[in-house]
Chain A
């Protein structure tokens, strides 16, 4: 079998199983939108149509694996805003950040809106979310998702994330940054090839600027979550390490409630602080979802 992402052989546990998982299609997960519907009635309605749902997360009754559901967007529950198709690991980002009711929240790179609407759900539509997205063309789908899901506590802005105005400070910040997206790659067809482009090589610089700006926008007791859907340490641990070297930041314990690996401490010529072990790597063969990375960040006090 062709080795995919073989450069990660040393850092990804059970590398053979990891590679096998890349030959399976991405599973369909759905999130029940509690802003508009009760979980039990949505599950009953969908199961009544013969759609098999498996609870994906014991602690949260809104996340389900729908193995036989081919197009969630073709369900009436989707039209009504009762469900939203969303990768499990993407849902975990909002859950780990866990903003309380009445919080002031910034999502730095918000489109297409799955995480924004999930944050609104976790906040029970209270407080205020600033959903920032640079590209105006992405404001349209972002706005549609927010409206379909009945979100009433969100405004959309269009700043470059790394230059978001320093006029105010936030209780919670989600920096789910642009990344190479390796975690979403599946080799379903023979023609599926993961392409390394020149644009992707520029990502770590951008990610470092965004994480610094995010940190500078935090209140003293605020919490930030940095996340990507890539395995690349240069976009993950290196970026977080850069923050620790340049700001008075601390990494906070992170328990997503799922099988994850601690962040790595060494990559190529670079060595990272042992603090980086508090970050979390999620792999598709362990969690049956998109590969993901998260770091929970606070200010040193």
Chain B
């Protein structure tokens, strides 16, 4: 969880809390995977493992295809940056190809219609 450390939290700790802050990681078998929401909020600060993609590549990823990339990176999660404009979430790099780890129900192909990315 990511949560701002504020003095009030000592008071709130006397309450029965069901959830706090933003979930930062999921456990996927023996791996730890950052959440899409955490990456969207903080991915801009990342200095490596960022992959710039264009709209065409994104549509391929959303269709379930993998895209080839030429990055000097170890296999693992990469941050997907649409046209250096929007941090979308994560992809998974394996053997020079990236697959989408974006939430399918939340990011749909129909959302891409009418995007004017060159503006």
A104 within 8 A of B: yes
Nearest chain B residue, comparing its CB with the CB of A50: B114
A80 to B85, CA, bound (A): 11
A152 within 8 A of B: yes
B6 to A49, Cβ gap below 8 A?
no
A92 to B119, CA, bound (A): 32
B119 to A44, Cβ gap below 8 A?
yes
> Shortest beta-carbon distance, A87 to chain B, in Å?
23
B63 within 8 A of A: no
> Shortest beta-carbon distance, A133 to chain B, in Å?
9
Interface residues on B, range: 35 or more
A78 to B8, CA, bound (A): 31
Residues of B within 8 A of A159 (CB): 15-16
A233 to B23, CA, bound (A): 42
B6 to A102, Cβ gap below 8 A?
yes
> Shortest beta-carbon distance, A78 to chain B, in Å?
8
B interface residues, Cβ below 8 angstroms from A: 2-4, 6, 8-9, 11-12, 14-23, 35, 37, 40-41, 86, 88, 106-108, 110-116, 119
Q: Given known contacts A49-B114, A150-B41, what 17 new A-B pairs fall within 8 Å (CB)? A: A48-B115, A48-B116, A49-B113, A74-B111, A79-B106, A80-B40, A80-B86, A147-B23, A150-B37, A153-B3, A153-B6, A154-B21, A155-B17, A157-B15, A157-B18, A165-B15, A167-B15
A interface residues, Cβ below 8 angstroms from B: 36, 44-45, 48-50, 74-76, 78-81, 102, 104, 125-128, 130, 136, 139, 143, 146-148, 150-159, 165, 167-168
